[in-house]
Amino acid sequence: MTATYLQGDLAPVPDEIDAVDLPVTGTLPPALTGRYLRNGPNPLPGQDPGHWFAGEGMIHGVRLRDGRAEWYRNRWVRSRHMDGVPFVGTDGVDLTALPVNTHVIRHAGRTLALVEQGLPYEIGGELQTLGPCDFGGRLTTAMTAHPKEDPRTGELHFFGYGFAPPYLTYHRLDAAGELVESRVVEVPGSTMMHDFAVTEHYVVWLDLPVVFDLGLLGDGMPYRWDDGYGARLGVMPRDGDGPVRWFEIDPCYVFHVGNAREDAAGRVVLDAVRHAPDRFTRLWRRIGGATDPAAHAPGGALHRWTLDPATGAVTEERIDDRTVEFPTIDDRRTGLPNRHVYAVAGEEIVKYDVVTGASRTHRVGASPGEAVFVPADPEAGGDDDHGWLLTIVGSRAELLVLDAADLSPVASVRLPRRVPAGFHGSWMPDE
Ligand SMILES: [Fe+2]
C-alpha cells in the first residue's frame, strides 16, 4: 500500500519542469517583482523514504515581474544524499548527506536551502543546486531551517543541534554573511529543536521533550516523546553577558514560533504554536505514516509565554482555540513588537491581531501552504499588514495572493500542475 505521506496533497511530482507566461486572474501588484521560492519533501519516483520529513527536497519557484508571472520551475535540491551517500557512515555523520527539504531563505546575497540536521545548500537563480555551504569551513554543526534575521542589523542568528555533544550550538552571521560567532549552549540531551526565537537582547531556546533515540535510526525520523526529559524555555543574552536563564513549563512541543519580543517591563514575550503532549504524539505517528484512527493530526494552537529574566517567573496563555500551523509575520518585525501573526488553519488563512486578540479568516476552499508576508513598502516601515500574503494552494495548482489587510484575494497565478504540500519558503525581491 502507498504510504500516507506519498498520497493526496502530499503525493510527489515525478520530474522537474519549466513553464513561462503563466495565466493570471486578477491583478498582480507591480511591486511584487522578485521570486517566491518554497521547499518541501518530494521523494524520487519509486522511493519510500519512511517518513514525510525524509523525502528529497524540492524547490518550487515562481518569478513575478511588473504584474506578470514570468515563470514557474521546480528543482530537486541535489544533496549528496541524492547521490546515495549515507548520512551515518563509518566516519560518523556527513552533514551534506541529508534530504534538504525544509526551508529556503536569502541572506547576504546567498540563497540557501535548509534542513535542520544538515548543512545548507546554496541555490542558484534558476533553482539549480550549487553545493553545500559551511561558510568557509567555519560551520561545523548542522544549521536549523529556521534562522532569524535581525531586521535592525542584518545579522542572521541560527543554531545547530547534534546527536552527540555539543548538543546545541548558537551561531551568528554578520550582515555580509560571514560566520562571526559560534557558542555552545548546555542542554541535557539531544532533542528535535525545530525553531527558536530572538529578541532585541536575547536568544530564546525551546528545550522540549522530543528526544533523539539512537535505536530509531534508519526508521524514519529518530525522535520520540520522552516524559522524563521535562520542558524548558531558555533566555540567553545575545551579547554573551550572563548565563542562559531556564524556565520550566508544562510539557508540550513547538514546531514553530510566530515571534518574540521584549515588553516595557523587560520581559520576553513568545508567541508560538503549542502542541499538547497527546496531540504531538498522535501527529508524529500520523506524519510518520501510521494509518490507525488514533494517529490523527489535529495540530496545535497559538499560545503566549511571558518570561521574566529578572524574577524567573513564567506564564502561559492560550491566545486562540483554532488548530493552526505555519505562523508567519512581517519579517521586518522579527524580535521586535509585532501586531499581526498569520497562520494556516485547515482550508483557511488566519490573521491574528496579537495586541487586541482579534482574528479574521479567509476560506481558500482547499489547503493552502504557509502564507508569506510581503510588505507593500519595504523601505517605508508601514504596518505589518500593509502588503500581501503569498501562498501556494498546491492541489489547485495556484499561487494565491491575498491583501494582508483584509485577506481579500488580489490575484491568482495558474501553475502548470499541482504542487505537493510542503514546508517553508521566502519572497526574494529583486535587488
Ligand atoms: Fe518548520
Give per-residue pLDDT as tens, 192-237: 999 999 999 999 999 999 999 988 877 678 899 999 999 999 999 9
* Å from CA of 23 to ligand 1 middle: 30
Q: Please, what is the average pLDDT of the chain? A: 95
* Å from CA of 359 to ligand 1 middle: 23
Question: For the chain, first and last CA: distance in Å?
Answer: 47
* Å from CA of 411 to ligand 1 middle: 26
HEC profile of the chain: CCCHHHCHHHCCCCCCCEEEEECEEECCCCCCCEEEEEEEECCCCCCCCCCHHHCCEEEEEEEEECCEEEEEEEEECCCCCCCCCCCEECCEECCCCCCCCCEEEEECCEEEEECCCCCCEEECCCCCEEEECCCCCCCCCCCCCCCEECCCCCCEEEEEECCCCCCEEEEEECCCCCEEEEEECCCCCCECCCCCEECCCEEEEEECCEEECHHHCCCCCCEEECCCCCCEEEEEECCCCCCCEEEECCCCEEEEEEEEEECCCCCEEEEEEEECHHHHHHHHHHHCCCCCCCCCCCCEEEEEEEECCCCCCEEEEECCCCCEEEEECCHHHCCCCCCEEEEEECCEEEEEECCCCCEEEEECCCCCCCCEEEECCCCCCCCCCCEEEEEEEHHHCEEEEEECCCCCEEEEEECCCCCCCCCCEEEEECC
Angle (CA) 19 21 23, round 5°: 100
* Å from CA of 265 to ligand 1 middle: 30
Could you tell me if residue 412 is inside a domain? no
In angstroms, the Cα distances linking 79 to 92, 105, 352 are: 18, 17, 37
The fraction of the chain above a pLDDT of 90, given in percent, is 90
The fraction of the chain above a pLDDT of 70, given in percent, is 99
Could you tell me if residue 73 is inside a domain? yes
* Å from CA of 424 to ligand 1 middle: 6
Could you tell me if residue 44 is inside a domain? yes
Q: Looking at the 3D structure of the chain, how many domains does it have?
A: 1
User: Residue 369 above 80 pLDDT?
Assistant: yes
Question: What CATH number did the domain enclosing 79 receive?
Answer: 2.130.10
Find cell 529583486 and name the residue: 430
In angstroms, the Cα distances linking 352 to 69, 100, 258, 303, 427 are: 29, 31, 11, 12, 21
Q: Over range 158-170, report the average pLDDT.
A: 96
CB crowding 340-361: b at 16 or more within 10 Å, else e: bbbbbbeebbbbbebeeeebee
* Å from CA of 145 to ligand 1 middle: 7
* Å from CA of 21 to ligand 1 middle: 31
* Å from CA of 161 to ligand 1 middle: 15
Amino acid at 235: V
Q: Over range 345-361, report the average pLDDT.
A: 96
| Nearest alpha-carbon partner for 330 in 284, 415, 388 | 388
Give pLDDT tens digits for 382-431: 899 999 999 999 999 999 999 999 999 999 999 999 999 999 999 999 97
Could you tell me if residue 374 is inside a domain? no
* Å from CA of 26 to ligand 1 middle: 31
Give pLDDT tens digits for 29-71: 999 999 999 999 999 999 999 899 999 999 999 999 999 999 9
* Å from CA of 254 to ligand 1 middle: 10
Q: Residue 429: its pLDDT value, please?
A: 97
Give pLDDT tens digits for 59-118: 999 999 999 999 999 999 999 999 999 888 888 889 999 999 999 999 999 999 999 999
* Å from CA of 422 to ligand 1 middle: 10
Could you tell me if residue 42 is inside a domain? yes
* Å from CA of 256 to ligand 1 middle: 6
Q: Residue 91: its pLDDT value, please?
A: 81
* Å from CA of 146 to ligand 1 middle: 7
* Å from CA of 194 to ligand 1 middle: 6
CB 249 within 8 A of CB 300: no
Q: Residue 288: its pLDDT value, please?
A: 86
Could you tell me if residue 376 is inside a domain? no
* Å from CA of 116 to ligand 1 middle: 9
User: Residue 1 above 80 pLDDT?
Assistant: no
User: Residue 293 above 90 pLDDT?
Assistant: no
Q: Which residues pair with 353 in a beta bridge?
A: 340
* Å from CA of 119 to ligand 1 middle: 16
* Å from CA of 215 to ligand 1 middle: 24
CB 58 within 8 A of CB 101: yes
Could you tell me if residue 209 is inside a domain? yes
**Which residue range is the domain that position 229 belongs to?**
4-322
Instruction: Compare 299 and 301 and report the one with higher pLDDT.
Output: 301
| Nearest alpha-carbon partner for 189 in 145, 238, 235, 223 | 223
* Å from CA of 362 to ligand 1 middle: 22
Find cell 520520540 and name the residue: 224
* Å from CA of 311 to ligand 1 middle: 31
CB 127 within 8 A of CB 307: no
Q: Residue 219: its pLDDT value, please?
A: 64
* Å from CA of 279 to ligand 1 middle: 17
Could you tell me if residue 368 is inside a domain? no
56 Cβ contact list (under 8 Å, min separation 6): 41, 42, 43, 44, 47, 49, 76, 77, 79, 81, 82, 99, 101
User: Residue 335 above 90 pLDDT?
Assistant: yes
* Å from CA of 27 to ligand 1 middle: 31
